[in-house]
Chains A and B, each alone.
Chain A
Amino acid sequence: MQQRDRYQSIEDFLADDSFKAWVLTGQDPDQWEAWTVEHPQRSAIVENARNLWLAMQVPDPKVTPEESVAALQSTWQKIVQAEDNVIAPTWRWWRSAAAVLLLGCGISLAWYIYRDIVVTPGTSYTELIENTSDPVLERTNDTDHPLLITLADGSSVLLQPDSKLSFPAKFEGRERKVYLSGEAFFEVSKNPNQPFLVYANELLTRVVGTSFRVKAFADQDDIEVVVRTGKVNVSSSSVAADSSEEELLLLPNQGVRFSRERLAFEKIDDLTQEKQISQKLSNIERLSFEFSDVPVAQIFKTIEQAYLVEIDFPEEKLKNCYLTTSLSDEPLPQKLKIICSSLGPDASYAIEGNKISVSAKGCD
């Protein structure tokens, strides 16, 4: 604060944060008031600097903290998209390199990429659950049809028969972690600040917001991850914590098969070439969620087939409602929200287990 004794010009005062704070808030921890009256010759310049500063205010841009958070989220989304564009050509290069290599050896044209990876064999679901510090809920599907689970962040999971999923009641901390034994289709709500992690035996799948299927049964030799939309990172769960090198990036319609016996990844670049996998695609992976001028009843029917849920809605009132929308990359709650918002301000939905009820007054 001694430097102010040497202030010569109005500029010196204007550039002083403590001075500005005193002028604008009246709070005076640095005792500007007292300092000014101490030497009467100062009072004129202080007065002028104060007046100038009061005359030189700028309007508040009126950006709320919520707006900033929303802007940050869409910035992360733009980054993810841009990174996709940057990374995709790299893979194209990889593929042609692999093709040259494979042709040279005269083996096969299929795009397999083998990678060595350090893993601890036999990392099991039970071990993973025991080692986690987060409190988790567990759902087991003993039925013969897929079970719909909606997570706290709005993500939806279709858990296949004979499968188990563990997840926290509420996602806290920097990551959203769930644990899978068996098979499930995930639709993850977008949140770049809190990546979504699926631990499935030896495999760790990491995403920001996307849909994909993980198959990891304790009694089967292979673990599979198949991507429908977005971008997915797969790594071995034991090394994931300290290594970013042992990762595979998967884009839509790509998949990876991990051999638990050989501890090796096998990348599948084109799912349609893989009869074994494409025949096993569940309804949700086969159905299209791109609707163009489609009656809302038809959209509900598609959702019923995809998620194996029952939707109760006022059929008569909604018979004239047609929608054009793209719901491909959205978890179920988000899909319902988008539909309801286009059915007018009074429309709402409720999910209870595999039953969904929609109320709406119709549309004009």
Chain B
Amino acid sequence: MINLSKTDEQLWQDLISGDESAFSTLFERHHSLLVGYGISLISHRETVQDCVQDVFVDVWLYRQSLNPSVSAKAYLISSVRKRIARRHERDKIFRKTTQLDDSLEKIIEFSLDFTVEDRLIANEETLHKVRQLNQMLNALNARQREALYLRYHQGLSVDEIADILDINKQSVSNLLHRALRQLRRDWTGSTPLFLLVSYLTI
């Protein structure tokens, strides 16, 4: 299991040159997070599982045309999103007969709700604050939440997020900043945490 200590970059390059075990290691390393991201876009778990597998099938079949210098994780996340969007589009066409569905979501939307890690909070006051913050976070629009998720949970760069969400870099920065600025506004409105204000002016 020497692969376990290899970085994504090494594994990605080994995979491109045809190393089956590098492929398997990358799969096992990212499978869970890709499924997690997928079910935040559409709730049907089996469809997500299918799409994630199909992405990896294509990665292997077309490995020679992959760019060795991109981040494997960003590439996989982006491919899973595209694949799910395409599947959703196709299913929508097939479901046209049920008219009720037609008015519903036209495109896939990030629908994951952030949760509170309350096991780690000892005092009541902090818990109250964190819960309020959590409510504000979940009141942000889908794009803002998705940008926050990709930036801080998946550790992707602004450039990579721009590529995934198919918007320009400046728009991603705006999404992220506006999200936190909005938080700050709501936050300061409810609790006097004025110190935060000075730190959030960017």
Contact = CB atoms under 8 A, between A and B. Distances in A.
Contacts of B61: 79, 82-83, 86
Contacts of A53: 152
Interface in B108-141: 112-118, 120-121, 126, 129-131, 133-134, 137
A174 B21 CA distance: 9
A44 B114 contact: no
B120 A68 contact: no
How extensive is the interface on chain B, given as a class?
35 or more
Given A48-B195, A68-B31, A74 B200 contact: no
A63 B152 contact: no
Interface string B173-193: 000100010010000000001
Which 7 A/B pairs are nearest by Cβ-Cβ distance?
A: A61-B36, A55-B133, A44-B195, A55-B134, A63-B32, A68-B31, A75-B53
B151 interface: yes
Contacts of B21: 174
Given A45-B199, A82-B61, A58 B114 contact: yes
B196 interface: yes
B32 A57 contact: no
Given A10-B180, A54-B120, A79-B60, A71 B137 contact: no
Contacts of A277: none
B176 A11 contact: yes
Contact of A54 (B27, B121, B149, B153): B121
Interface string B8-49: 000000000000110010011001110110011000000001
A208 to B, nearest CB: 11
A9 interface: yes
B53 A59 contact: no
A72 interface: yes
Given A48-B193, A68-B32, A72-B27, A58 B39 contact: no
B130 to A, nearest CB: 5
Interface of A: 8-11, 14-15, 17, 20, 23-24, 26, 44-45, 48, 51-61, 63, 65, 68-69, 71-72, 74-75, 78-79, 82-83, 86, 174, 193
A51 B180 CA distance: 13
Given A55-B131, A65-B28, 20 more contacts: A10-B199, A10-B200, A11-B176, A11-B180, A11-B202, A14-B151, A20-B152, A26-B120, A44-B195, A48-B193, A48-B199, A51-B126, A51-B133, A52-B133, A55-B114, A57-B117, A59-B115, A61-B36, A68-B28, A74-B53
Contacts of A24: 117, 120
B89 interface: no
Contacts of B183: 52
Given A55-B116, A78-B57, A63 B199 contact: no
Contact of B112 (A20, A58, A82): A58
30 contacts: A8-B199, A9-B199, A10-B180, A10-B200, A15-B155, A44-B195, A44-B196, A45-B195, A48-B193, A48-B195, A55-B130, A55-B134, A56-B134, A56-B152, A57-B116, A58-B36, A58-B115, A61-B32, A61-B36, A61-B39, A63-B32, A63-B35, A63-B36, A71-B53, A72-B31, A74-B53, A75-B27, A78-B54, A78-B57, A174-B21
B155 A48 contact: no
A197 B49 CA distance: 31
Contacts of A51: 126, 129-130, 133
B84 interface: no
B117 to A, nearest CB: 5
B148 interface: yes
B178 to A, nearest CB: 13
B52 interface: yes
B14 to A, nearest CB: 15
Nearest to B196: A48
Given A10-B200, A61-B39, A193 B114 contact: no
Nearest to B61: A82
B155 A75 contact: no
B116 A61 contact: no
A342 to B, nearest CB: 22
Contacts of A86: 61
A80 to B, nearest CB: 10
A15 B151 CA distance: 8
Contacts of B27: 68, 71-72, 75
Contacts of A8: 199, 202
A75 B51 CA distance: 11
Contacts of B54: 78
A15 B133 CA distance: 18
A56 B114 contact: yes
Contact of A10 (B20, B39, B114, B196): B196
Contacts of A193: 20, 24
A57 B199 CA distance: 22
A292 B148 CA distance: 54
Interface in B60-96: 60-61
A72 B113 CA distance: 28
A11 B172 CA distance: 14
Contacts of B52: 71
Contacts of B152: 14-15, 20, 53, 56
